[in-house]
Amino acid sequence: NLPFFFSFSVYNDFMPLYNVWIEHAALDLNQTFTYRSQYTLQRGMRVTVPFNNKELVAIVSEKADVPDSEKIKDVIGIIDETPLLNEELFELAAHLSDTYVSSMVSCFKTMLPPALRPSSRRAAIVYEDWFVREESTQPLTKKGQERWDQLKDQLPMKASEFRRQAKTHARSFLDKGYIRIEKRVKQPEIPVTERQDQRFVLTAEQENAITQIEQSDSQVFLLHGVTGSGKTEVFLQLAQKALDQGKQVLFLVPEIGLTPMMISRVRSRFRQNIAIYHSQLSAAEKYSQYEKVRNNEVQIVVGTRSACFMPFTDLGLILMDEEHDTSYKQDMMPKYHTRDVVLFRSRYHHCKAVLASATPSLESYARAYRQVFELVELKERIAKTLPQIHMIDLRTEPVIQGFSRRLLDAIRQRLESKEQVILLLNRRGYLPVVKCQNCGEVITCPDCGIALSYHRSNDSLMCHLCGNTYHFDHVCPQCGSRHFMDHGMGTEKLEQKIQDLFPDARIVRMDADSTRKKNAHAAILEKFENEGDILIGTQMVAKGLDFPNVTLVGILQADAGLIRSDYRANETAYEMLEQASGRAGRSSKKGEVMIQTFDQEHYVMQAVLHHNYKEFFQNEMQYRHLGNYPPYIYMATAVFSHDDLDKATRIAQKARNMLQEHGCRVLGPIEISMRMKKKRVRLLVKDKNESHLETVMWHLVHNLEKSNVKMEINMHPLMLED
Ligand code: ADP
Ligand code: ZN
Ligand code: ZN
C-alpha cells in the first residue's frame, strides 16, 4: 500500500502536456491533439490515448505549449520505451506530408513496416524457440557429456536445429539446466541462389567513375552508363569503401523482378552483413529485417521502394539502381517518389547518393544538365560492342502470323547454335479484348468500364486495371453467341504460337501472371538460365537481366507505347526499348535486336537505333517544352470520385476555380476510367513554382467545401492515364 502523500503527489499542476498524432480508422486527421503524461515522453514514441471513448494509438510529436485544463486527458500507456521514429524519420514524415499534400499519419503508416504501424499492435509477429546456453553443474551421462562438448559452442541455436543434432539428449540438457528456451522473432527464409562472388579488375572507365565520385564535393551523382557497362561493380566497390569506414549503406533496386539477380550478387559479396527488404516479404519478415537495422546488426540494406525508410543511424552511401523506374513512385497517398526520400536522407546524413541508369529519367538528366546533380558516365560496354539494332518495318516486310520472316529466321538460327532468345510483348494474357463476332459486344469490367482480357491459364477474364477476375462461360452476355474475335495477342498467346512454330524450343514465360507466387521470379529466371531457350515476357524481361548467352532480343508491337496519349509515353517507350535491347550481347557473343515497328522514323526509334540517349533527351525536352510539361513546370493531379458523375464534376469545377484564382494553370475536369464502381474526374494542375504548387494544393485540401466526393491528390504524377 502506498502512503497517502505519495498517491496525492501524482496529482500536480506540473505534469507535462504533449501533442500527439492520432491514428484513427475512419478519419484522416491531420492535426495533433493534446494529452497529459506523468512520464517524460520523447518525439517518435507510440502511446495510447483516450479518444471518443476509445483507446487509440498515437505518435508523440512535441511538448504542448498550452495551459493545462480539465478538458485535457491523460495518456493511458506507453508502447515504446525508446522512440520508434528517430528525429530524422520524424522530420522526413513532416517533409513528405508537406510536399505530397498528405496527412502526417498516412506518412507514418507508409514509413513503418506493417507490424509497427500505429494501429497494429497485435500484428502477426511470428516467434520461434531458440536454445540459449546456461551454466550448470548437474552431472550428465558419458554420452550426454560428449554431445554437450560438441554442441555447446554453437549455441544459441534454433530449437529445431538443436534437437536434430542433440537427438534424445536435448531433453536432459534442458531438464538439467544446461540450456533454456528463448523466444525469438522468426527469421525470414529468403531463398537466394548462392553465387560465387566474382571480383573483377576494374576497367579504366569504372575506375574513373569511382574516383570521380569519391573525390568530388558534390553530394548527388547521376551515373549514366550504357547497358552492360558494369554499373553494378561500381556500386559494389563504392559500397565496400563505405562499409570499411564503418558506415551504413542503402542499396535500392526497383522491383522484386530485378532483385533475385541483384540480391545474390550483393549478398555473395557482403555475406552476413546484409538485410533484404521488399514488398513480397510477410509482415513478420519485414519486421525482423527492420529490427536488424534498428539494432545495428547489419550495415547494408538491399531493397525496393519502402527500404528507403529503414532506420539508419549512420548512413554513408545511398545507391539507387535503375533510377528511372516507375516502381519507385508509390501509388497510394502519400504518393512519394523514392528519389526525393533519397535526396532528403543524403542531405541529413551528409552522405553521397548515386542514382544510376542507362536510361535516366528526364527529370534527373535535366538536373544533371543544370549541374544540380553531377554527371558520371560509362560510355562503353564491358563486352565492348553494343548489340546491333534492326528496325523491321511491318509495312513492307513479309509477316507470318504477326512475326516477320527475319525475326523467325533469327530465332531458328539461335536455337540451332544453342544461344538464348528474349521476346518482349508488353501485354499479358491471351486475348487483350473479348469481342463478340456476332453483335460486336466488348466484355468490360463492371468496376472500371475498360475491356477485359481473356487469360487462358485460368480460363477467365481479367481486368488489368483493378485486377478483378471474372468467370467466363464463353457466351456473349448480349446475344448468346459463342463466337469471339481472335484479334490481338498477349504473352500467353505468343507463347503458344512460338511453341507451335518451334516445337522443340524450351520456353519460359515471365509476366505478372506467372510471377504471382512468392519467389516465382527467381525460379523462372533460374529455369531460363539453366534449361531455357526462349524467355517470353512483358516489360519485366527488359529489366536488369544479365544472361551472357542471350544473343537475340525480339520486340513485338514496339509502337504500342508510342500511341498512348500520356505525356510520358515516349519516355516510357524509349526506356523499355533501350533496356530490352540492352539484354542482348552482354558477353563475348555478339548481340542482335529486332524491333517490329510501323513507325521507324519516330525519334524514339531513331534514338534506340543509334544507342543515343542524348538524341532522345533533346527531342523529348523540346516536346515537353512545347507542351508545357515537366521538367519545365511542376504538375499535380486531383482526382474526384463519387457514384454520381455530376456531383464529382461539380466539386471538381469548384476546385478548378479555386486553383485558377491562385494563378495555376488547370486542365479539366475530364472524366477518366471508373475505379471500384465510382465515377471519376480529373484536374491537371500546372505551376512554375514547386512550393507555390504545394501551398495551393494544401489550400484546396483545407478550403474546398466538405462533401462526400473523395479527392485524391498526386504530386508530380508519372502517369496521367488512369
Ligand atoms: P549494367 O548494370 O551496367 O548493365 P552489369 O553491372 O550487369 O552492367 O555488368 C555487365 C556484365 O559485365 C556483368 O556480367 C558483369 O559481371 C561484367 N563485369 C562488370 N565489370 C567487369 C569487369 N571490370 N571486368 C569484366 N567483367 C565485368
Ligand atoms: Zn454478341
Ligand atoms: Zn476493373
- Enter the C-alpha cell of residue 132: 540459449
Helix axes 362-369, 613-627, angle to 10 degrees: 100
For residue 609, the model assigns a pLDDT of 96
Q: What is the mean pLDDT of residues 234-242?
A: 96
Copy the grid coordinates of residue 581: 535491347
- Residue 9 C-alpha cell reads as 503527489
Integer Cα distance of 371 and 32 in angstroms? 40
pLDDT value for 1 = 38
Cα gap 524→107, rounded to integer Å: 35
Q: Which residues pair with 508 in a beta bridge?
A: 535
Residue 636's DSSP bridge partners are 685, 715
Whether 287 shows a pLDDT value over 90: the answer reads: no
DSSP states of 242-279: HHHTT-EEEEE-S-TTTHHHHHHHHHHHHGGGEEEE-T
Considering every ligand atom shown, identify the ligand nearest to the alpha carbon of residue 198 and give its number: 1
Nearest alpha-carbon partner for 78 in 126, 38, 33: 38
Instruction: Give the three-class secondary structure for 555.
Output: strand
Closest-CA residue to 206 (of 378, 357, 356, 47): 378
**Does position 542 have pLDDT exceeding 80, yes or no?**
yes
Work out which ligand 1 atom sits closest to the CA atom of 206: 23
- Ligand 2 center–CA 443 separation, angstroms: 10
Closest CA to ligand 1's atom 18:
230
CA-202 nearest atom, ligand 1 = 23
Q: Output 109 or 198, whichever has higher pLDDT.
A: 109
Identify the nearest ligand to the CA of 478 by its number.
Answer: 2
- Show the DSSP H helices in 321-476 as ranges: 338-349, 362-369, 405-416
- For ligand 1, what atom is nearest to the CA of residue 582? 4
The CATH number of the domain covering residues in 634-715: 3.30.70.600
Cα(382) to centroid of ligand 1, in Å? 6
Whose CA is closest to atom 5 on ligand 1?
Answer: 230
Residue among 167, 124, 173 at smallest CA distance from 152: 173
Quote the ligand 3 centre to 563 CA distance (angstroms): 22
Distance CA 537, CA 514 (A): 10
Atom of ligand 1 nearest to the CA of 227: 4
| CA distance to 95, 275, 661, per residue, from 89 (Å) | 10, 19, 35
Give the residue, by CA position, lying nearest to ligand 1 atom 15: 230
In this structure, which topology does domain 204-378 adopt according to CATH?
A: Rossmann fold (3.40.50)
Ligand 1 pocket, CB under 6 A = 198, 200-203, 206, 225, 227-233, 382, 546, 586
Q: Whose CA is nearest to atom 10 of ligand 1?
A: 228
Q: How far is CA 26 from the centre of its chain?
A: 27
Question: What are the pLDDT digits (tens) for 449-502?
Answer: 889 999 998 899 999 888 889 999 999 999 999 999 998 999 999 999 999 999
Question: Would you place residue 270 in the very low, low, confident or very high pLDDT band (cuts 50, 70, 90)?
Answer: confident
Residue 129 burial class via C-beta count within 10 angstroms: exposed 0-12, middle 13-18, buried 19 and up: middle
Tell whether the torsion through CA atoms of 544, 547, 548 and 549 is positive or negative. negative
Residue 168 has pLDDT above 60, yes or no: yes
Ligand 2 centroid from CA 484, angstroms: 8
Q: Alpha-carbon torsion 409, 411, 413, 416, what sign? A: negative
Look-up of cell digits 547454335: 417
Instruction: Compute the distance from residue 36 Cα to the ligand 2 centre, in Å.
Output: 68
C-alpha cell at 8: 496525492
Residue 364's pLDDT band (cuts 50, 70, 90) = very high
Question: Which residue carries 504471382 as its cell?
Answer: 516
442 Cα: distance to centroid of ligand 2 (angstroms):
8
Q: Are strands 634-642 and 665-675 parallel, antiparallel or unpaired?
A: unpaired
Helix (H, G, I), strand (E, B) or coil at 50: strand
Query: What is the grid cell recorded at 57?
Result: 494509438
Q: Which pLDDT value is given to residue 392?
A: 96
As a whole number of angstroms, the distance between CA 679 and CA 193 comes to 46
Q: What is the distance between the alpha carbons of residues 593 and 369, in angstroms, rounded to a whole number?
A: 30
Q: Retrieve residue 564's grid coordinates.
A: 498512348
Q: Does domain 388-430+489-625 correspond to CATH entry 3.40.50.150? A: no
Question: Residue 188: which pLDDT band, with cuts at 50, 70 and 90?
Answer: low
pLDDT tens per residue, range 390-409: 999 999 998 888 899 999 99
Of 277-286, 460-469, 624-633, the one with minimum mean pLDDT is: 277-286
d(CA 316, CA 351): 5
CA of 447 to the centre of ligand 3 (A): 5
pLDDT tens for residues 212-228? 999 999 999 999 999 99
Cell of 543: 529489366
To test ligand 1's pocket by mutation, which of 200, 206, 323 has the most ligand atoms within 8 angstroms of CB?
Answer: 200
CA of 673 from ligand 3 middle (Å) equals 9
Ligand nearest to the CA of 470: 3
Q: Which residues contact 295 (CB under 8 A, 6 or more apart)?
A: none
> What dihedral do alpha carbons 505, 510, 513, 519 form, nearest 10°?
120
Task: Determine which residue's CA is closest to atom 2 belonging to ligand 1.
Answer: 231
pLDDT above 80: residue 628: yes
Among 233, 259, 320, 355, the mutation site with the greatest number of ligand 1 atoms within 8 A of its Cβ is 233
Q: Give the distance (Å) from ligand 2 centre to CA of residue 477.
A: 7
What per-residue confidence (pLDDT) applies to 685?
Answer: 97
Backbone angles phi, psi at 297, to 5 degrees: -85, -20
Q: Which ligand has the nearest atom to the CA of 546?
A: 1
Q: Distance between CA 262 and CA 250 in Å, rounded?
A: 14
Residues β-bridged to residue 374 = 221
Residue-level pLDDT at 420: 97
| Residues of each domain in the chain carrying CATH 3.30.70.600 | 634-715
User: Mapping DSSP to helix (H, G, I), strand (E, B) and coil, where does residue 717 land?
Assistant: coil
CA distance 339 to 395: 41
Q: Which residues surround ligand 3, an ion (CB under 5 A)?
A: 445, 447-448, 463, 465-466
CA of 286 to the centre of ligand 1 (A): 30
At residue 4 the predicted structure's pLDDT band, cuts being 50, 70 and 90, is: very low
Looking at the chain, the domain(s) classified CATH 3.40.50.300 span: 204-378, 388-430+489-625
Q: Given a cut of 70, is residue 238 above it in pLDDT?
A: yes
CATH number (1.25.40.10, 3.40.1440.60, 3.20.20.70, 3.40.50.150) of 8-116 reads 3.40.1440.60
CA of 671 to the centre of ligand 2 (A): 28
Q: Give Cβ neighbours of residue 175 (< 8 Å, ≥ 6 apart).
A: none
* Ligand (nearest to CA of 465): 3
* Minimal-distance CA residue to ligand 1 atom 1: 228
- CB proximity list for 120: less than 8 A, separation 6 or greater: 114
Q: How far is the CA of 239 from the centre of ligand 1 (A)?
A: 16
Measured in angstroms, how far is the CA atom of residue 439 from the centroid of ligand 2? 4
pLDDT at 93 over 90: yes
d(CA 39, CA 13): 14
676-687 per-residue burial string, b: 16 or more CB within 10 A, e: under 16: eebbbbbbbbbb
Q: What is the mean pLDDT of the chain?
A: 90
CA pair distance 529, 546, nearest whole angstrom? 10
Q: Is the pLDDT of residue 128 over 60?
A: yes
Least distant ligand from the CA of 678: 3
Task: Say whether pLDDT at 245 is over 80.
Answer: yes
437 backbone dihedrals φ, ψ, rounded to 5°: -70, -30
Cα-based distances in Å from 91 to 65, 341, 466, 476:
20, 11, 34, 56
The atom of ligand 1 lying closest to the CA of 232 is 6
What is the structure's pLDDT at 616?
Answer: 97
Mutate to test the pocket of ligand 1, among 200, 227, 269, 382 (most ligand atoms within 8 A of CB): 382
pLDDT recorded at residue 123: 46
Residue 515 amino acid letter: T
Mean pLDDT of 228-235: 94
- Nearest listed ligand to the Cα of residue 579: 1
The pLDDT assigned to 28 comes to 63
